[in-house]
Amino acid sequence: MLSAVWLIPALPLAGFLILLAAGRKLGEPAAGWLATAMVTGSFVAGLVTFAGLLGEDEHHRQFVFTVFEWLPSGSFSVDVGFLVDPLSMAMVLFVTGVGALIHLYSIGYMHGDPRFHTFFLYLNLFAFSMLMLVLGDNLLITFLGWEGVGACSYLLVSFWFERNSAAVAGKKAFVTNRVGDWGFMVAIFLTFASLGTLTYAGEEGFLENAGALPEATALGIALLLFVGAAGKSAQLPLYVWLPDAMEGPTPVSALIHAATMVTAGVYLMARVNPLLDAAPAALTVISVMGAATALFAATCAVAQRDIKKVLAYSTVSQLGYMFLAIGVGAYVAAIFHMITHAFFKALLFLGAGSVIHGLHDEQDMRRMGGLRKLMPITAGTFIVGWLAIAGIPPFSGFWSKDEILAAAWDSNRLLWLVGVITALLTAYYMSRQVFLVFFGPPRWQEAHAGATSEEALAEPEHEPAAAQAAPATPHESPPTMTVPLVVLAVLAAGGGLLNLPGVLTLEHFLEPVFEDRLHELDIPAGILLSLAAVTGVGVVIGILAARAIYLRSTQPADRFEPELLRRAWGFDQALAGFFGGPGRAFANFTSRVLDGRGIDGAVNGIATLVRGGGSRLRLTQTGYVRNYALFMGGGAVLLLAFFLLRTGVA
């Protein structure tokens, strides 16, 4: 059953190829159903492989399935192979599971789009790349998938490239990710130079030998990999692309920029855990950066007006939690939170998409309100997502977040405090969002009077034609969209069952991957409970504060939404200012002097040399046989002369 693993990436690849060849002919909705079927099939193949893995002995659950030898070159060889172990299977199942639901949702959401089939073409390519990333049995395949998802992200963010902001956001995502990719690439080179292999598993493999690296080397590789992870998973200071990436269609935001791709960095860190273990300083860096990102992004989220921007900053913040968990050695908690986050954040994004869809492409939360009655399914499921992310027991977010906070307490009290404050802020901004969108007075009728005067207003997602029309009454979305919502709501509510305290199903399953590197909690149950209580109080304060400001108060809420926070502390502008000012000047300088005179000069010089040399040499090519024969004779004489001089006969 384990050999079914090759089907997991092969099916989305097949879907991609079919859509490439015949997507236009299939059209809508067949192209969407095909893509959905492929990812669902991939999920089934994942289940089969998973069952096979469960059938094996607990401590020997690591299998390599080699498809073919890819690059043989002397002693260096890279296989295209898949590593089946608890970690990769956990990733595969939630990526394909959530992916299939989002594919299904997209059929409804992308209805009527002129490039319907292209959208699913990209989605399937994305699923394939993501699965290569998590299944690859060496760093190079992982990197290949890494670049693949990056490219798909670029294509999908700028899917509506007719809109300038979408095109710009796509470019921004791409360029920012290149910075991270640079780190990943150099880490690969360093690994190969110091270990002579890129393969994870096996006696000679990376995982087995990373611990034996000199600490400085291990630290270097670990930090470079973290640069890569920070780029892909939107951590400080490389997070800037993710809020802008919301220009993409909402299912893309849910799939790529919430549930799957952005967790790739967390996966990578978990994958190379023996390396991190050999470089404790790297763990400190990761935990501090994670906590800082979590807090920073949560403060930004409280002031956003765009329904998707709130969720985007929230994603950055939750990813920060996961890195915090990695940094304190709570790998299982990180993966656990990754999975529950995939459930509830995908749910929230899809719910937001449903709202946007129902309101005819309105994204500003100040023009929503009271939608609870008009969109009951969306509202109900969204509320489940809200409770889950806020950390209300027994919803899934409570369990996973609590585990991270407990591990943080055990490691460093300051990190824990940052985590609790973030939890409070999370509860606050999510409650704010729910109250603004689903409760309170309906404001969508007055919506479009002053639409153009608002500068902060996000551009409508679809073509502006819809915005011009008179606002029809918001309506509930079609079943292709609500069914995934309901399924995800069930998962978001019950996801905590995966790893309940005391039972710890997920932890036992994942343990062979991390072995003794896993941080063991050493806290009495009493303190654990009180920690949970403290967090709980923080969460309740957050919710009540939001209720006071957004439901009870008649005052305009503007003074609780400082401009500075809405602009993310001005970080983005500062960055743009720096690169636009001194950065551009420096680039101009290098382009003029280094490039223009140095490199171009050398190139032009060589070109002149070649042209001149070629023209002279050409004279030997007279076209006369007698000259040619002379030339060859001369060559023969030279060869003979060489040997004769060498032997000293002459």
Interface contacts to another protein, rule CB under 8 A: 68-74, 606-607, 610-611, 613-615, 617-618, 620-621, 623, 625, 627-629, 631-632, 634-636, 638-640, 642-644, 646-647, 649
User: What is the rounded distance in angstroms from the CA atom of residue 158 to the CA atom of residue 518?
Assistant: 40
User: What is the rounded distance in angstroms from the CA atom of residue 20 to the CA atom of residue 127?
Assistant: 15
Cβ distance to another protein smaller for residue 578 or 643: 643
Residue 173 CB, nearest approach to another protein (Å): 25
Cβ distance to another protein smaller for residue 502 or 614: 614
Residue 69 CB, nearest approach to another protein (Å): 5
Element (H, E) at 82: strand 76-84
Cβ distance to another protein smaller for residue 77 or 164: 77
Report helix, strand or coil for 625. Answer: helix
Cβ distance to another protein smaller for residue 71 or 503: 71
Residue 625 CB, nearest approach to another protein (Å): 5
Residue 80 CB, nearest approach to another protein (Å): 9
Q: Dump the DSSP string for 224-251.
A: HHHHHHHHHTT-TTSTTHHHHGGGS-HH
Residue 630 CB, nearest approach to another protein (Å): 9
Cβ distance to another protein smaller for residue 472 or 606: 606
Q: State the burial class of residue 2 (Cβ atoms within 10 Å of its Cβ: 0-12, 13-18, 19+).
A: middle
What are the distances in angstroms from CA 109 to CA 119, 152, 358?
11, 19, 10
First to last CA, the chain: 76
* Residue 592 in tokens: 């003029």
Instruction: Compute CA 36 distance to the chain's CA centroid, rounded to the nearest angstrom.
Output: 20
Residue 257 CB, nearest approach to another protein (Å): 29
Number of H helices, E strands in the chain: 26, 2
Residue 647 CB, nearest approach to another protein (Å): 5
What are the distances in angstroms from CA 185 to CA 41, 149, 189, 206, 307?
33, 16, 6, 16, 36
User: What is the rounded distance in angstroms from the CA atom of residue 6 to the CA atom of residue 529?
Assistant: 44
Q: Dump the DSSP string for 102-165.
A: HHHHHHHHTTT-TTHHHHHHHHHHHHHHHHHHHHBSBHHHHHHHHHHHHHHHHHHHTTTTTSHH
Cβ distance to another protein smaller for residue 525 or 625: 625
Residue 9 CB, nearest approach to another protein (Å): 16
Helices (H), 439-460: none
Residue 622 CB, nearest approach to another protein (Å): 9
Residue 144 CB, nearest approach to another protein (Å): 12
Cβ distance to another protein smaller for residue 530 or 622: 622
Phi, psi of 503 (to 5 degrees): -95, -50
Sign of the Cα torsion 326, 332, 333, 338 reads positive
Cβ distance to another protein smaller for residue 75 or 452: 75
Instruction: Compute CA 262 distance to the chain's CA centroid, rounded to the nearest angstrom.
Output: 2
Of 430, 263, 274, the residue nearest 339 (C-alpha): 263
Residue 348 CB, nearest approach to another protein (Å): 40
Residue 390 CB, nearest approach to another protein (Å): 48
Cβ distance to another protein smaller for residue 2 or 14: 14
Cβ distance to another protein smaller for residue 175 or 640: 640
Residue 642 CB, nearest approach to another protein (Å): 6
Residue 224 CB, nearest approach to another protein (Å): 23
Cβ distance to another protein smaller for residue 582 or 635: 635
Amino acid 314 reads: S
Cβ distance to another protein smaller for residue 525 or 619: 619
CA angle, 96 then 97 then 103, to 5°: 80
Cβ distance to another protein smaller for residue 576 or 609: 609
User: What is the rounded distance in angstroms from the CA atom of residue 301 to the CA atom of residue 320?
Assistant: 14
Residue 632 CB, nearest approach to another protein (Å): 5
Cβ distance to another protein smaller for residue 449 or 625: 625
Strands 63-73, 76-84: pairing is: antiparallel
Instruction: Compute CA 603 distance to the chain's CA centroid, rounded to the nearest angstrom.
Output: 40
Report helix, strand or coil for 330. Answer: coil
Cβ distance to another protein smaller for residue 71 or 587: 71
Other Cβ atoms closer than 10 A to 212: 10
Element (H, E) at 617: helix 600-618
Of 547, 578, 573, the residue nearest 560 (C-alpha): 547
Instruction: Compute CA 243 distance to the chain's CA centroid, rounded to the nearest angstrom.
Output: 13
